[in-house]
Structure 1
């Protein structure tokens, strides 16, 4: 029997904070998606020109960060970070070794007898991207709304009104195994799937740079390809370490470290949050060589955005999800909706960097490409701003 996760008493407090933040995220996402009009603001004044899903993969070239000293204080204007398809997506491995029995993140013992028809569902799309990266993408029979990469674009949706699981749509696909976590629901639908006899393996909901390898090996163990999981986990962790080291060198060559803040916004739902320490955004900011201005201001987890918090943090640059920036009408709309941003260096210089919702905080096996793309948008915005422009796909709304 394989146990998917174990508790570490030294990180218990951090896990509780992250779990609480994730629960808030899930609720905010569900509320925001139910009311957001797909693509709202994508073509209005101040639009960032963001690209999503398969369109982004097809349009984006490999990001490049210039060498030598960079004067970040002289940079102005927004940029959109995007990536080409990850090279971590693998060819099909050997046939999964079945049956396999695992103990999932909730302590439930689950026996999986077939990996022929897989559903991998979570609020970030990370589980599905992990299955594809393991070489089992041809066995995936459906997707959630957050699964936005090109290979999965033609799969039928099993979510509705944002991230709500549709029991009928799931049962119609006759899955042989479901991988999910507590970030997506309603939970009654998950329990209903178990009652019908479908093996449901609940994965840890925590997403961070530190858990990338663990999540990969957990997914691989449940699908009967543990050796492939070990290989992919090692490759993913090494790639993230290399990208982080490279961007830290770039950051050291700047005149001053870039103070960054991550905002989650959904205009139609009037949702404005700042992500601080222990939210995952802090790890991303550190990975790209920045300083987390929200954490410095004492913000932990997710907090409703206030003018006081913005002015106190005084970020040089703001990171956002692309659909969020579009939902408020681009940079101009954001500055109008949150006037306090204009009093910060980020607002004064219009330094806003957005990235596709299914990528920026995914912490999946291809996360090194996310770090690289954000690094290019942060340190070389002139090379990427406006380089690609395409309408947003409604399926990627979150």
Structure 2
């Protein structure tokens, strides 16, 4: 059993698409904004933008790994990142050290897709595949495992730095700072945090202020096997709040991060809009398949087919592109305001 917390958030599997916003906006009897039709939110450029070109790391550096171990890093010329959301690879690129990345986990973006995937099954680490890359440092978290593999890598003498696996708006800055510290580029880390904070603030400031706040339900689905409604702490609730909307699971009184979908839970949450990952939507047969789930057709969102989907590897990554994610979601949630 893992010694660390493994949030349900990291059950999510990665990928991304193109912006397609369609539909119109109405106001229901309660005064909430209700946009009709399905649309996809996408950031225009999925590649992280480096904050610096070829920064020179100040090494050696000793950092406290999230598992409580002090780890000394002396060389960052061959970096491997392994986490479910792909946030660590995004951060390495955004810090200007993308050329040093030699291996990554399944979640990827165009600039990293040519690199070896050390989690080819999407979930489990492959020790042999990682060792074959001769890494000088491994950045990872407990969203991926098994832990025995990470400990095996550390036992060979490779510096293995764990970071906090939690992904929310509150962890964006600390996550960037942790990676920057481990790679010996704290100044670039501070600059990247500043730029990311500015982009998040700009996205929030652009949200229409004169519209009733819609109620948005975040659903996580994997076909008929997994059907969950997000609640407080899901990560999506933070995005929904930042978008000037209400999290449906929280409004319905859910207390868990995710609750199995029932007709009662869906109807009680009464969402105007359903927010969902692209693969989740595809796994149930698209908007019509989603409407057939328990209680969905009885909600304003189900009746209007008011659905916003976004690629799995982007929506809850909470990395350096969080401002872009918010801006794309805002465009899809308030299509008339952005049109």
- Length-normalised TM-score, structure 1: 0.77
The reply to whether residue 201 of structure 1 matches residue 185 of structure 2 is no
Change in 2 beyond 3 A, CA 1:100/1:262: same
Choose from 167, 175, 178 the match for 1:215: 175
Q: CA deviation at 1:366?
A: 1.1
Q: Distance in 1 between matches of 2:267 and 2:216?
A: 13
Q: Secondary structure at the match of 1:189?
A: helix
Rounded to whole Å, the distance in 2 between the matches of 1:352 and 1:145 is 26
For residue 24 of structure 1, report the CA deviation from its aligned partner: 2.9
Instruction: Label 1:381 to 1:320 Cα distance change in 2 as closer, same or farther (>3 A).
Output: farther
Query: What are the residue-to-residue correspondences of 1:42-53 with 2, within 5 Å?
Result: 52-53=15-16
Give, in whole Å, the separation in 1 of the partners of 2:214 and 2:318: 22
Between the aligned partners of 1:96 and 1:224, the Cα distance in structure 2 is 5
| Number of the residue aligned with 1:104 | 65
Q: Is 1:93–1:134's contact at 8 Å kept on the other side of the alignment?
A: no
Name the residue aligned to 2:136: 176
1:354 corresponds to which of 298, 306, 309: 309
From 129, 133, 144, the counterpart of 2:105: 144
Q: Could you give the per-residue CA deviations for residues 266-299 of structure 1, whole angstroms, max 9, x where no partner exists?
A: 016x101111112211110011111111101111
What is the CA-CA distance between 1:92 and the residue it aligns to? Answer: 2.3
Match 1:295 to one of 243, 250, 269:
250
Q: 2:290 corresponds to which residue?
A: 334
Does structure 1 conserve the Cα–Cα contact (< 8 Å) formed by 2:262 and 2:294? Answer: no
Using the TM superposition, name which of 83-92 and 275-284 deviates more.
83-92
Query: Hey, what does 1:135 align to over in structure 2?
Result: 96
Which residue is 2:268 aligned to?
A: 312
Matched residues in 2 for 1:267 and 1:306: separation? 15
Residues in 1 aligned to 2:205 and 2:90: alpha-carbon distance in whole angstroms: 24
Matched-pair contact (CA < 8 Å) for 2:79–2:101: yes
Structure-1 separation of matches of 2:299 and 2:258:
20
The list of structure 1 runs, each at least 4 consecutive aligned residues, that deviate by more than 6 angstroms after superposition, is 381-384
Q: Counterpart of 1:231?
A: 191
Judge conservation of contact 1:78–1:381 (CA < 8 Å) in 2: no
Q: Which has the higher contact order (CA 8 A, sep 6+)?
A: 1
CA contact (8 A) 1:311 1:343 kept: yes
CA RMSD of aligned residues (A): 2.3
Q: CA deviation at 1:161?
A: 2.4
| Counterpart secondary structure, 1:363 | coil
Match among 102, 124, 127 for residue 167 of structure 1: 127
**Residue deviations 1:311-341, cap 9 Å, x none?**
10110001011111111111111222x1310
**1:49 counterpart residue number:** none
Over residues 73-101 of structure 1, what are the superposed CA-to-partner deviations in whole Å (9 max), with x where a residue is unaligned? 56311000001126743342422111111
Deviations 1:50-76 (A, max 9, x none): xx54xx3xx559x9xx9xxx6455631
In the other structure, the counterpart of 2:31 is none
The size of the alignment, in residue pairs, is: 327
Work out the CA distance in 1 between the residues paired with 2:49 and 2:145: 29
Query: Is structure 2 residue 318 aligned with structure 1 residue 363?
Result: yes
> Shift of residue 383 of structure 1?
7.7
| Conservation of the 8 A alpha-carbon contact between 2:35 and 2:273 | no
More strand by percentage: 2
1:165 is paired with a residue whose SS is: coil
Structure 2 residue corresponding to 1:79, chosen from 39, 47, 57: 39
Q: With structure 2 as the length reference, what TM-score do the two structures score? A: 0.90
Q: State which of 262, 275, 278 in structure 2 corresponds to 1:322.
A: 278
The superposition leaves residues 194-244 of structure 1 with CA deviations (integer Å, 9 ceiling, x where unpaired) of 011110001011211112111111100100111000110111112112211
Deviation of residue 382 (structure 1)?
Answer: 11
Q: Distance in 1 between matches of 2:228 and 2:269?
A: 14
Partner of 1:344: 299
2:156 is equivalent to residue 156 of structure 1: no
Q: 1:104 to 1:246 in 2, by over 3 A?
A: same
Per the alignment, residue 210 of structure 2 pairs with 253
Residues in 2 aligned to 1:323 and 1:344: alpha-carbon distance in whole angstroms: 22
More displaced stretch, 374-383 vs 152-161:
374-383
C-alpha deviation, 1:193, in angstroms: 0.6
Structure 1 gap segments, 5+ residues each: 1-18, 39-51, 385-398
